[in-house]
Chains A and B, each alone.
Chain A
Amino acid sequence: QIQLVQSGPELKKPGESVKISCKASGYTFTDYAMHWVKQVPGKGLKWMGWINTYTGKPTYADDFKGRFVFSLEASASTANLQISNLKNEDTANVFCARWGYSSPFAYWGQGTLVTVSS
């Protein structure tokens, strides 16, 4: 069955970096784009951008340009999100989600809670 399994919760200090992974299984990884979605605790969903898993080309929403990097380990069917120079406002649950035509975001990771606190 199709699964997206994300790495565990992270507690970081302002200015540090974090890398979140999203391991896919049950399908051909390079056939579907991977998107990233942010959710501040108790708030709504915000689209961060996506990565073409075939070419590796990332696309970022404006609010996520600069400190955010989407990358792949295609041989491991894994998409990664790295956030550098963490700020308090980066505290959020971050989800990966698989995009497919006729199945947009039909599959989600369980979410990774990133907490930024001094």
Chain B
Amino acid sequence: DVVLTQTPVSLSVTLGDQASISCRSSQSLEYSDGYTYLEWYLQKPGQSPQLLIYEVSNRFSGVPDRFIGSGSGTDFTLKISRVEPEDLGVYYCFQATHDPYTFGAGTKLELK
């Protein structure tokens, strides 16, 4: 199974700071069709996860442009510029290139 290793496990920030989360895969996530099925989700306390980024760098509808996804192959990053209160929660990367699909263990973004 593909293992997604997220770092850091937790991240303490001041509002307005930039935050960066890494997701490293045990295998390349580029599929045979040329697409890379690496997604990012945010789960706020007591809520279902919400889609932020799909296929590495595409923001889902309504997601602010302060969320930026990048990377290729096995190394991926989610950057959040100017963290706002509604950005706090647990971020998960997820791969849908290889069966079984897998989630990273999560990165908790909290206030300093």
Asked whether any CB of chain A lies closer than 8 Å to the CB of B49, the reply is: yes
On chain A, the residues within 8 Å of B37 by CB distance are: 104
Interface stretch among B19-27, B65-73, B76-84, B101-109? B101-109
Contact B49 A44 (CB under 8 A): no
Interface stretch among A9-17, A24-32, A75-83, A105-113? A105-113
Most buried by A among B96, B102, B105: B96
Question: Nearest CB to that of A60 among chain B residues?
Answer: B100
Of A45, A62, A108, which is within 8 A of B92 by CB?
A45
Contact A105 B51 (CB under 8 A): yes
Question: Nearest CB to that of B60 among chain A residues?
Answer: A106
Known: A45-B92, A109-B48. A103 touches B100 (CB 8 A): no
A5-B110 Cα distance, complex, nearest whole Å: 29
Contact B100 A105 (CB under 8 A): no
Most buried by A among B51, B100, B103, B105: B100
Q: How large is the interface on A (under 10, 10 to 19, 20 to 34, 35 or more residues)?
A: 20 to 34
Contact B100 A61 (CB under 8 A): yes
Most buried by B among A35, A47, A110: A47
State how many angstroms separate the Cβ of B6 from the closest Cβ of chain A: 9
State how many angstroms separate the Cβ of A15 from the closest Cβ of chain B: 27
Beyond known contacts A37-B49, A102-B54, A104-B94: 8 more, CB 8 A cutoff:
A44-B90, A45-B41, A45-B94, A47-B102, A104-B37, A105-B49, A106-B60, A110-B48
Q: Which residues of A contact B (CB under 8 A)?
A: 35, 37, 44-47, 49, 59, 61-62, 95, 97, 102-106, 108-111
Q: Which residues of B contact A (CB under 8 A)?
A: 37, 39, 41, 43, 48-51, 54-55, 58, 60, 90, 92, 94, 96, 99-106
